[in-house]
Amino acid sequence: MSTPGSKPASDSKRAPRPHRRPKKDPARIVAFRALRAVDERDAYANLILPSLLREAEQKGMDRRDAALATELVYGTLRLQGSYDAIIEACIDRPLREVDPPVLDVLALGAHQLLTTRIPSHAAVSATVELARVVLGDGRAKFVNAVLRKISAQDLDTWLAQVAPPYEQDAEDHLAVVHSHPRWVVSALWDSLGRWQPDASGRAALEDLLRADNERPEVTLVARPGRSTAAELLDARPESEPGRWSPYAVRLAEGGEPGGIEAVKENRAGVQDEGSQLVALALAAAKVEGRDRLWLDGCAGPGGKAALLAALAAERGAALVASEKQPHRARLVARALDGNPGPYTVIAADGTKPAWADGTFDRTLVDVPCSGLGALRRRPEARWRRRPDDLAGFGPLQRDLLRGAVRATRIGGVVGYATCSPHLAETRAVVDDVLRDTPGLEWIDARPLLPGLPGLGEGPDVQLWPHLHGTDAMYLALFRRTA
Ligand SMILES: C[S@@+](CC[C@H](N)C(=O)[O-])C[C@H]1O[C@@H](n2cnc3c(N)ncnc32)[C@H](O)[C@@H]1O
């Protein structure tokens, strides 16, 4: 029996193949559209994908296909560096001469072949079908030929072939094997060496790079006084308590937070444990005297502000949550909605403050940064960021910290946080501000994060995905003494 498009081999010379419409495969089409939006419009995968999935679900896409599309987008973007090197070894021209949509289809195919459990024949045929739909028959043939070459070896064999030997060029080797830009490998290595001098060798760096390529758990925060970890654990019995924060609950894989009552009512939210620890450490630092008015000077979209506001409410203190961008200030207002204690949300520039010097007892600035500490969550960020971006953030980070110091009264506490372990955004900023700002005592943050291993020599702390299971948050705490 012959089906449309397939004929007995003996016929193949005589009859031309009847035209067959390519099969539409919603998961792979959504994945392709998401990758195109990331490439063409600088879209963020975590924003564009949910909207494409909603649209496809309205047309009947089921949950399994939605899960497949999500895995394909995130997995392909994370491992793009490795896949590009492998694809380049399978074609006879430089990668930059391949049209970006073709490259996206090839990378999607490489991901299915080399990293997922999809059988090779299914991965090739489904990706070639996708190519027929989105690229046309001619280019689908090219895709077919390249994917067949890729399917001849597994990922480790390919990487051993395409990465330069470690001994010849360690950073390039790790960049290709672990799919990070070389400059990011270099920066992470420098930072790891600063914080973990005894454990910053090749093995530790590889653990970190691997952790960046893993899908992060979804962690919830039970906002104090409004919900408890026990309530969240009851709502999701298959979830687990956080490792470090008493307010954290880690959802089991695939766990959707949206249906949980406490989340719907804003009494709990989604928040990485590293961010929770930053807010908890700031709240735990000792201030001298009055402790009534707290400031979050870079509050948008409001995760840390919501936790700080709840902690402040428990102590009879109030939070001012300030954010420069009005649309992000609106997100902060939403995050704080229902907080049991007093709070104010304002749109203000932390470098030209809307408050008198010395107003606050505790101040946090969680400054804009490269985000190199959250590569697990933002799979495209590593490819989009450039080393020059750091020079752009540096002056603002220093000004925001100086502004935070001025905003805080003598005896009060200031926290400087970034979601980046890059030394230019952490130690270099703090060293410069300490040098030109008299009357600042650097507080040891380590005792304020009880139980966490590997916090180094202090007084500041750097969290790590591979050691703590958190984003790579940095925190330095100061007391204003004069
Ligand atoms: C890393 S995010 C803060 C994340 C937030 N703390 C949270 O946990 O949700 C940095 C924020 O600082 C804001 N920002 C940038 N420049 C600022 C400035 N000059 N003054 C105040 N906020 C600023 C950005 O718009 C961004 O929302």
SS3 418: strand
CA-CA distance, 76 to 74, in Å (whole number)? 6
358 lines ligand 1 (CB under 6 A): no
E strands in 324-379: 343-347, 360-366
CA-CA distance, 451 to 227, in Å (whole number)? 23
Q: Are 318 and 294 in contact (CB under 8 A)?
A: yes
369 classed as catalytic: no
Atom of ligand 1 nearest to the CA of 418: 1
SS3 275: helix
CA-CA distance, 455 to 436, in Å (whole number)? 27
Amino acid (1-letter code) at residue 67: A
pLDDT of residue 5: 35
For domain 273-480, give the fold: Rossmann fold (3.40.50)
pLDDT of residue 245: 98
pLDDT of residue 196: 83
303 lines ligand 1 (CB under 6 A): yes
Report CA(11)–ligand 1 centroid distance (Å).
67
Strands of the sheet with 248-250, listed across from one edge: 240-241, 248-250, 219-222, 268-270
Q: Are 324 and 349 in contact (CB under 8 A)?
A: yes
Report CA(349)–ligand 1 centroid distance (Å).
9
pLDDT of residue 59: 93
471 lines ligand 1 (CB under 6 A): no
CA-CA distance, 120 to 242, in Å (whole number)? 38
CA-CA distance, 423 to 372, in Å (whole number)? 11
Within 10 A of 26 (CB to CB), how many other CB atoms are there?
Answer: 18
How far from 446 is each of 257, 280, 282, 424, 455, CA to CA, in Å? 31, 12, 11, 21, 7
CA-CA distance, 208 to 358, in Å (whole number)? 40
373 lines ligand 1 (CB under 6 A): no
Length of the chain: 482
Atom of ligand 1 nearest to the CA of 325: 25
pLDDT of residue 15: 52
Report CA(367)–ligand 1 centroid distance (Å).
6
Nearest CA residue ID for atom 11, ligand 1: 298
- Structure pTM? 0.93
- Identify which of 223, 295, 298, 367 to mutate to test ligand 1's pocket (most ligand atoms within 8 A of the CB): 298
Report CA(204)–ligand 1 centroid distance (Å).
31
pLDDT tens, position by position, for the chain (482 residues)?
333 333 333 444 445 555 667 777 999 999 999 999 999 999 999 999 999 999 999 999 999 999 999 999 999 999 999 999 999 999 999 999 999 999 999 999 999 999 999 999 999 999 999 999 999 999 999 999 999 999 999 999 999 999 999 999 999 999 999 999 999 999 999 999 998 888 778 999 999 999 999 999 999 999 999 999 999 999 999 999 999 999 999 998 777 898 999 999 999 999 999 999 999 999 999 999 999 999 999 999 999 999 999 999 999 999 999 999 999 999 999 999 999 999 999 999 999 989 999 999 999 999 999 999 999 999 999 999 999 999 999 999 999 999 999 999 999 999 999 999 999 999 999 999 999 999 999 999 999 999 999 998 999 999 999 999 999 999 999 999 98
Q: Are 307 and 221 in contact (CB under 8 A)?
A: yes
User: Which DSSP state fits 19?
Assistant: P
Atom of ligand 1 nearest to the CA of 349: 20
How far from 209 is each of 121, 290, 339, 472, CA to CA, in Å? 30, 44, 38, 12
pLDDT of residue 12: 42
CA-CA distance, 163 to 103, in Å (whole number)? 19
Report CA(298)–ligand 1 centroid distance (Å).
4
Amino acid (1-letter code) at residue 340: P
Q: Of 379, 437, 387, 381, give the one whose Cα is nearest residue 407.
A: 437
Instruction: Please give the torsion angle defined by the CA atoms of residues 372, 377, 382 and 384, in that order, rounded to the nearest 10 degrees.
Output: -110
What's the distance, Cα to Cα, between the start and end of the chain in Å?
Answer: 89
Q: Where are the domains of the chain?
A: 19-150, 219-270, 273-480
Instruction: Please give the torsion angle defined by the CA atoms of residues 154, 160, 161 and 165, in that order, rounded to the nearest 10 degrees.
Output: 170
pLDDT of residue 252: 85
Please give the backbone phi and psi of residue 109, each rounded to the nearest 5 degrees, phi first: -65, -45
Catalytic residue chosen out of the listed positions 110, 150, 419, 472? 419
- Longest CA pairwise span in the chain (Å): 93
Q: Are 141 and 101 in contact (CB under 8 A)?
A: no
Q: Are 475 and 278 in contact (CB under 8 A)?
A: yes
ipTM over 0.95: yes
The second-level CATH assignment, the architecture, of 19-150 is Orthogonal Bundle (1.10)
Q: Which residues contact 308 (CB under 8 A, 6 or more apart)?
A: 279, 282, 283, 294, 296, 319, 321, 364
Summarize the chain as % helix, strand, coil (round to 5).
Answer: 50, 10, 35
CA-CA distance, 26 to 347, in Å (whole number)? 42
Q: Which residue shows structure tokens 């490819």? A: 383
Pairing status of strand 440-443 against strand 474-480: antiparallel
SS3 197: helix
